[in-house]
Amino acid sequence: MIVEFFGLSNTGKSVLKRELEKKGYKVSRPEKISKTMKFFLFVKHLILNPLNSIYLFNELNSNRVQINLSPEKKSLIRKMRNSYLVGVLAKYEYLKNKEENIFTDEFSLQSLFMILQKKSNEKEIRKIIKKLPKSDYLFLFEGNKEWRHKAYQKKHPIHSGTLMPGSGIDKDYAEEWMEIMEYNFEIIKKIILENYQEDKETFKELKLKYPKIYKKK
């Protein structure tokens, strides 16, 4: 079964995933899937879900952060966003028939932040969620805004930007995108609480105080 981690960046998703792996729990490791296999998994999803897939990519490519950027930066952002959605759909095909619980971040609901790079509304978000693959359980990470934004000022260990998503491409783009993500997150959370119910029993052996755990209704 798919156990999805969802939340804004720097709220602890990757940290918990690493801790669970250390304790012997199954976690997704998409980097261990070859590019060829990922491509075929995506094609499989495209064949099985053509209309949904076309709709999602159309939504992704028909809206963007409204700031002036060079053609080169626009191309990098477009590649990042499309690659992310390809990876999510391929990951779903890889995980969907697993019987054991598999914990994964960077999955279905998280892709909403890539698909919608503008402030959206409840109607639009509901429609997109209906087209996305579904997880069986959801770990909802919220986190403190002030703490997150302090973390975003730290230098990224790999690229030239900071820990704020997108900063390696452009600082202004990253700041605008973060404002959009925070806005849309509140709407997404409202919808989640209607489609999922809190589950305090299934993963009680993990003894987690945070995040909150939900099961799909």
Closest CA to 176 of 106, 73, 25, 37: 73
- pTM of the complete model beyond 0.85: yes
CA separation, residue 93 to residues 26, 46, 139, 196 (Å): 17, 10, 20, 22
Q: What is the pLDDT of residue 159?
A: 77
Q: What is the pLDDT of residues 96-120, one digit of tens each?
A: 999 899 999 999 999 999 999 999 9
Q: Residue type at 65?
A: V
Q: Residue 184, Cα to own-chain centre: how many angstroms?
A: 13
pLDDT tens track for 118-175: 999 999 999 999 999 999 999 999 988 999 999 899 988 877 789 999 999 999 999 9
> How many domains does the chain contain in total?
1
Mean pLDDT of the chain: 93
CATH classification of the domain holding 190: 3.40.50
Q: What is the pLDDT of residue 31?
A: 79
* Tokens 């305090």 belong to residue: 200
Query: How many whole angstroms separate alpha carbon 109 and alpha carbon 192?
Result: 9
What is the predicted pLDDT for the residue at 30? 82
> What is the structure's pLDDT at 156?
83
Query: What gap in Å lies between CA 77 and CA 89, rounded to an integer?
Result: 19
Ranges 18-22, 53-57, 160-164, 189-193, most confident = 53-57
Question: What's residue 177's pLDDT?
Answer: 96
Q: Give percent above pLDDT 70 in the chain.
A: 100
Calpha distance 51→127 (Å, rounded): 13
Tokens of 79: 């590649």
Domain coverage including residue 80: 2-216
The three state secondary structure string of the chain is CEEEEEECCCCCHHHHHHHHHHCCCCECCHHHCCHHHHHHHHHHHHHHCHHHHHHHHHHHHCCCCCCCCCHHHHHHHHHHHHHHHHHHHHHHHHHCCCCCCEEECCCCHHHHHHHCCCCCCHHHHHHHHHHCCCCCEEEEECCCHHHHHHHCCCECCCCCCECCCCCCCCHHHHHHHHHHHHHHHHHHHHHHHHHEEECCCCCHHHCCCCCEEEEEC
Tell whether the model's pLDDT for residue 35 goes beyond 80: yes
The residue that leads in pLDDT, 116 or 29, is 116
| Per-residue pLDDT tens digits for 125-137 | 999 999 999 999 9
The percentage of residues in the chain with a pLDDT greater than 90, rounded to a whole number, is: 83
Q: What pLDDT does residue 53 have? A: 98
